């Protein structure tokens, strides 16, 4: 495994191309607290252009207001008051760690803390400490059902839980491609995933539990969508369940939009609606999405359309002025998902002692055409789990440094070239392929000299 890790580092540092950095995830605390997993999943945000940067770019910026260390010390004090004094702050990975092995990522929490009004920060810290150790769920379903809610998120959110905790048995439903719902227990200070085992203990079927959860969602305070501009609306609830309103589409159908309703779900407190035939409205909606993606706990820039009674991923016609921008956000989401998946698989393989290199999905902009596309790097003799990409770059580290990149090929040509050496790998999350081959000398001559 160590050899594969070193190989991956050499690739990332050696190609000298503009790339998207691997999106790391924090470690997941023990148990199945929804709160814990939320804190374990920071995302790179800020819209398409924020995801494309030169390797090594960036730098330290002065931090105004409370530092992460200040926040960590307040949280440690609150945890100690609650009887959990065994946590320590690890600045190296922005986490709190306990003697029992519980790990709590501070990435999203610190961002939220800084955005909280100063007079409310103490209460925020106390809620955070309580949320790490949620109270038990009600023992009887008659008492529990009032606390059930459906939580809709991009599907990779639950796919990564499948990788990290494969026996979790969270009650889940698919809403659309790349969109899923989990059943949660919304307690006083935290949300917890509901498992199939918990339903069995309650003696209730999944169908009944889902029906009660959606009824609870519908019973929440009736509010009117806020009209951003004509034909573009923003959800008003900000109750952590704004995206879940896609499960009750009647309200969305009443909005005055051009064409079918199109929703964006960039944050757990944000749902943006426009119309499939409204070019200006879609572009305005993306401005709202970009703003939401800059918040802590941002999720995805993808769009979904309500076609009849079903949700489906949405892109406008290619000749639409909104097509390029919406595709950018969809492509950004694909890159983030693949690299979040890589981080989870790396953790799993490290724990298991598995020697398998999980490739990063990179994104570049062509200096010739301005087109953006994805690529992966295949290194000779390295057993790889590769995400699907637009291009594959081939590297031979046994050659002199200036000759190590031996060529590139579009994805379909790569698949045809290596044939059975490329096999689909059944894994939660984005498609990956087990690659156990490399172009032969004749095939190398047919490669493109580099990326377009």
Q: 316 vs 12, which has greater pLDDT?
A: 316
Indicate whether 241 and 200 sit together in one domain: no
pLDDT band for 134, please (50, 70, 90 cuts).
confident
pLDDT score for 63: 52
Total residue length of the chain: 452
- Final residue before a domain boundary, out of 196, 219, 242: 219
Is residue 9 located within the same domain as residue 38? no
User: Which of 195, 219, 243 is the last residue before a domain boundary?
Assistant: 219
pLDDT digits (tens, 9 = 90+) for 392-411: 999 999 999 999 999 999 99
Q: Are residues 200 and 244 in the same domain?
A: no
- Give the C-alpha separation, 352 to 156, whole Å: 22
pLDDT digits (tens, 9 = 90+) for 402-445: 999 999 999 999 999 999 999 999 999 999 999 999 999 999 99
pLDDT at 103 > cutoff 90? no
Burial class (CB in 10 A: 0-12, 13-18, 19+), 210: middle
* Residues 297, 270: Cα–Cα separation, whole Å: 11
Any domain includes 293: yes
Q: Is residue 319 a part of any domain in this protein? A: no
367 shares its domain with 424: yes
Q: Is residue 451 part of a domain?
A: no
Asked whether residue 441 falls in the same domain as residue 348, the answer is: yes
Residue 91 domain flag: yes
Task: Report the domain count for the chain.
Answer: 4
Query: Given strand 372-379, what is the order of strands in its sheet?
Result: 362-365, 372-379, 391-395, 405-410
What pLDDT does 188 receive? Answer: 78
Share of the chain above pLDDT 70, in %: 86
Average pLDDT, the chain: 85
Domain, as residue range, for 422? 2-21+335-445
Residues 375 and 439 in one domain: yes
Q: Based on the domain organization, do 231 and 195 belong to the same domain?
A: no
Q: Is residue 382 part of a domain?
A: yes
Domain boundary among 190, 219, 248: 219
Measured at the alpha carbon of residue 157, what is the angle toward residues 99 and 341, in degrees to the nearest 5?
Answer: 80
Q: Is the residue at 439 inside a domain?
A: yes
What is the per-residue pLDDT for 115? 84
Tell me the C-alpha distance between 330 and 327, whole Å: 5
CA 384 to chain centre: 22
- Claim to verify: residue 277 and residue 341 sit in the same structural domain: no
- Say whether both 200 and 295 belong to one domain: no
What's the confidence (pLDDT) of residue 405?
95
- 389 inside domain: yes
Is residue 351 located within the same domain as residue 433? yes
Per-residue pLDDT at 199 exceeds 90:
yes
Q: 348 is written with which tokens?
A: 């799993």
Question: Does one domain contain both 215 and 230?
Answer: no
The per-residue pLDDT for range 357-399, each reduced to its tens digit, is: 999 999 999 888 888 999 999 999 999 999 999 999 999 999 9
Is residue 325 in some structural domain? no
325 and 285 Cβ atoms separated by less than 8 Å? no
| pLDDT band for position 303 (cuts 50, 70, 90) | very high
Same domain, 244 and 160: no
- Count of CA atoms in the C-beta half-sphere (13 A) of 451: 27
């Amino acid at each position: 495994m160590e050899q594969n890790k070193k190989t991956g580092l050499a690739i990332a540092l050696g190609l000298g191309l503009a790339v998207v950095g691997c999106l790391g995830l924090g470690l997941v605390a023990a148990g199945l607290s929804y709160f814990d997993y939320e804190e374990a999943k920071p995302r790179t945000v800020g819209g398409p252009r924020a995801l494309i940067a030169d390797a090594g770019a960036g730098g330290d910026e002065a931090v105004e207001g409370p530092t992460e260390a200040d926040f960590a010390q307040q949280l440690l004090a609150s945890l100690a008051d609650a009887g959990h004094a065994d946590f320590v702050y690890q600045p190296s990975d922005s986490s709190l760690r306990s003697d029992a092995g519980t790990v709590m990522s501070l990435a999203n929490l610190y961002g939220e803390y800084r955005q909280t009004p100063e007079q409310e920060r103490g209460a925020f810290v106390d809620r955070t400490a309580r949320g790490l150790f949620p109270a038990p769920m009600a023992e009887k379903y008659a008492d529990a059902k009032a606390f059930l809610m459906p939580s809709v998120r991009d599907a990779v959110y639950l796919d990564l839980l499948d990788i990290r905790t494969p026996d979790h048995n969270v009650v889940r439903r698919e809403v659309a491609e790349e969109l899923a719902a989990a059943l949660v227990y919304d307690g006083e200070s935290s949300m917890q995933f509901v498992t199939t085992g918990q339903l069995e203990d309650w003696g209730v079927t999944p169908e009944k539990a889902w029906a009660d959860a959606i009824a609870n969602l519908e019973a929440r305070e009736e509010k009117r969508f806020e009209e951003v501009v004509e034909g573009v609306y923003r959800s008003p609830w900000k109750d952590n369940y704004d995206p879940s309103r896609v499960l009750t589409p009647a309200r969305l159908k009443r909005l005055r939009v051009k064409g079918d309703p199109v929703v964006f779900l960039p944050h757990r407190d944000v749902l943006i609606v426009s119309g499939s035939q409204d070019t200006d409205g879609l572009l305005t909606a993306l401005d709202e999405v970009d703003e939401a993606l800059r918040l802590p706990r941002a999720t995805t820039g993808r769009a979904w359309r309500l076609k009849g009674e079903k949700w489906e991923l949405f892109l406008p016609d290619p000749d639409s002025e909104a097509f390029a921008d919406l595709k950018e956000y969809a492509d950004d989401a694909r890159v983030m998902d693949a690299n979040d998946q890589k981080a989870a698989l790396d953790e799993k393989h490290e724990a298991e002692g598995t020697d398998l290199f999980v490739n990063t999905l990179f994104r570049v902009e062509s200096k010739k055409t301005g087109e953006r596309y994805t690529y992966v790097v295949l290194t000779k003799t390295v057993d790889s789990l590769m995400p699907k990409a637009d291009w594959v770059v081939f590297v031979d580290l046994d050659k002199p440094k200036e000759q190590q990149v031996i060529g590139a090929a579009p994805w379909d040509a790569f698949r045809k070239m290596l044939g059975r050496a490329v096999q689909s790998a059944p894994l939660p999350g984005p498609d990956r392929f087990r690659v156990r081959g490399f172009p032969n000398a004749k095939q190398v001559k047919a490669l493109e000299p580099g990326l377009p």
